[in-house]
Structure 1
Amino acid sequence: MSKNKVIVLAVLEGGMSKSEAARRYGVGRQWVHELLARYAAEGDAGLEPRSRRPRTNPQATGHVVRERILALRTELTTKGLDAGAETIAAHLEREGLAPPARSTIHRILRAAGTVVPEPHKRPRSSQRRFTAAQPNEMWQSDFTYWTLADGTSVEILDFIDDHSRYLLHLTAHPKVTGSVVVEAFLGTAQDHGLPASTLTDNGLVYTTRLAGGRGGRNAFETLIASLGITQKNGRPSHPQTQGKIERFHQTLKNGSRTSLRPTRSRT
């Protein structure tokens, strides 16, 4: 028998007053009064412990913001643009709405069934992440292809800091050549200092190591070696090594204006 039931029976069948029962069982008189009222209304069920969870949550996301989150998800997805929590939060800010935490936005999307579960995906805890420990410890570089609305093809060259993913350099060219890469590297180093190492794929503008030894070092390799910088290159056909800059290219294309039409991605 629960303590609540004992208190109620002590009053109803034992003849104790509410004050006496409160002193005897170490509770407040008001609590005894509430137990008797619950028992009268609900019987034994009224004496069971009740949840202390507040009936309202002042920090809960409001209806207007919640509905706008779902609407933005639909709008951005329909346009083929990135529709993740970060992007939705940025749109809310532009519209003058205070966005909730990114994790809250994701929970709202999941609850609405707009996020497709991936049960076969490896948990993040099982993944090994390789990130430079300090800024300028390593730069990643690559370039990707775009076609402008007027049909003009351009190649976009970029450098990012591996530690912070900070975009250090971004320029568009009719064609990315070895001299373009060298000039971009030197200009970026003048603004941000020299990196301890670089990480790129095996494109000929970065390295000739897969060219069968013909022609010796290219301009970028010669420059990096002369500055005492460690040059790293990913394995062939393994773009995951340069995953951070590949992910940046995806964000760049998904967030572009409709005046730009993406073509193929260099991997």
Structure 2
Amino acid sequence: MSHANAALTPRARLRLARLIVDERWPVAVAANMFMVSPVTARKWASRYRTEGPAGMADRSSRPHRLPSKTPPEIVKRIVRARWRRRLGPVQIGGELGTPASTVHAVLVRCRINRLSRIDRVTGEPIRRYEHDHPGSMIHVDVTKFGNIPDGGGWRYLGRDAAKQNRSATARRTGEWTDDYHPRIGRSFLHTVIDDYSRVAYVEICADEKAVTAIAVLQRAVAWFADRGVTVERVLSDNGSAYRSFAWRDACAELRITPKRTRPYRPQTNGKIERFHRTLADGWAYARFYGSESERRDALPRWLHFYNQHRRHSAIGAPPISRLNNLPGHHT
């Protein structure tokens, strides 16, 4: 494929070369016909004589030698300083006697020019992975949100007004703590994310016990199956529900391979952790809700927007778009 500023395409180059070589046109006349310089016309004619039509293809413009290229030893020292001490280009350049612009260019080539791309614990570059088809891996987890009292919560009304609303809600429901404080409770959101497509399935439950988590998994697997996706593996953290024998047996019954993250390494399950933040910003705290039931009623609509219409920054398209055109999906 020719670059944007090329005067000739490979087909036009071949026509130009054949006019000069095969039909004996003067170089100046042929060059004028194709609106290029005689030097360019001679170049393509020479390549045609030596290589034939294959010589009309584009070639890399990369030079054979780079005498000013940063030596590998300096590159290693720059990368080591970045990984181990997280220094910036100015600090690294000052230590090594290298221009900061050169250090920055090396960091860009090594894809560690942003500290967010370096693991905080090991200092190694973060290796992002993605399974190659829907259903190859799903991520499961539970996130919790405090319930909203009738009349609204403190995020929009302030703590004094929210305290009155909490008391009024407790008087209506009769839910009080042992020391007579209003008990509003929490919502447990069981979330399921497909690793490849980022399509999400969410249920609001009353707890995070193994029985509840298993029921959510069964319904999620059926939900994905209705969309032509067969779940093969499930990745969870090391919560008690996911370490239980009941969870293991349920996965075996569904013919799913259960996997767990390394302890104290939530980054392994980072896709669903990031989804929880999107869930909080886009739904849970996105606007004023007058009650918990009002917020729960808004979840299906937001989830439809997330799956069907919201452009996902990691894949550049709505998640549901990656479930289209699966084998047999439209048959």
Question: Which structure has more helix as a fraction of its residues?
Answer: 2
Question: Which structure has more strand as a fraction of its residues?
Answer: 1
What's the TM-score bracket when you normalise by the shorter of the two chains?
A: 0.3 to 0.5
TM-score (norm: length of structure 2): 0.37
TM-score (norm: length of structure 1): 0.46
